[in-house]
A = this chain, B = another copy of it.
Amino acid sequence: MSEGKTPDAGRRSERSHQAILKAVVELVGEMGYGRLTIEAIAARAGVGKQTIYRWWPNKGLLVLDAFAALMGDTAPLPDTGDVVADMKLVLRATAAELCSPRFEVPSRALTAESQLDPALAKQFVDTLLRPSLEVTKERLRVAQRAGQVAAGVDLDVAVELLVGPLFHRWLLRTAPLTPEYADTVAEYALAALRPPRTSGSAG
């Protein structure tokens, strides 16, 4: 999914490919990203180191691939007609995922590594993050058409208003990431986006 060059993908050993991704997931869970080693991955996967270096340029993109394989494709959001309720659902789900043991370690690792490697950052955002933000944005667009979100609002900003606070708290660990917090953020953010009350209209 994310290997930069594909010398001859037809010849690639699918068995090795899968074994490597599996080993990465296992090892990142066992020892964390910092202690993760190409040699250990190769050993666990029963693969030569060169086979890893042949297909991935660095540890970051390898972990990204392994992590991407873990996540299913982004599902579209439910639309109950109530944006606030729907956004609460989204943020609660996001918070839960960020704290789930399976996702937390690689998410933090990829976020961290992205700070040191802009190429990885781009790949990470494009592959994993943007699609997920996009479905939220889509839901907001519907809300905007329905008049629940003010017409002039830049929806990218709107999404950041919803997700940014959660992300800030998660990443900097300033406080626990509870479902209640998710609800609060959703309420505040959507309050900010609500169109101004006009006399004679109903929200």
In the complex where A116-B109, A157-B188 touch, is A168 in contact with B174 (Cβ < 8 A)? no
Q: Which one, B154, B175, B191, contacts A156 given CB within 8 A?
A: B175
In the complex where A111-B171, A116-B34 touch, is A166 in contact with B164 (Cβ < 8 A)? yes
In the complex where A112-B112, A115-B111, A116-B109 touch, is A161 in contact with B188 (Cβ < 8 A)? yes
Min Cβ gap A33→B in Å is: 6
Q: Are A125 and B157 in contact (CB under 8 A)?
A: no
Question: Is A87's CB within 8 Å of the partner chain B?
Answer: no
* Copies per assembly: 4
Taking CB atoms, residues of chain B closer than 8 Å to A185 are 157, 160-161
Question: What is the CA–CA distance of A111 and B122 in the complex, to the nearest angstrom?
Answer: 18
In the complex where A111-B171, A121-B173 touch, is A116 in contact with B191 (Cβ < 8 A)? no
Min Cβ gap A70→B in Å is: 18
Chain B residue nearest to A107 (CB atoms) is: B115
Chain B residue nearest to A118 (CB atoms) is: B173
Q: Classify chain A: how many residues form its interface, as a range.
A: 35 or more
Question: What is the CA–CA distance of A160 and B91 in the complex, to the nearest angstrom?
Answer: 15
Beyond the given A34-B116, A111-B171, please list 20 additional residue pairs across the A-B interface where CB-CB is below 8 A: A108-B115, A111-B172, A112-B112, A112-B114, A118-B173, A121-B173, A122-B173, A157-B184, A157-B185, A157-B188, A160-B168, A161-B185, A164-B165, A164-B166, A164-B167, A167-B167, A167-B171, A168-B168, A171-B171, A192-B192
Question: Can you report 15 A-B residue pairs in the complex whose CB atoms are below 8 A from each other?
Answer: A108-B116, A109-B115, A111-B112, A112-B114, A112-B116, A118-B173, A121-B173, A125-B174, A154-B184, A157-B185, A160-B165, A164-B165, A164-B166, A171-B171, A191-B191
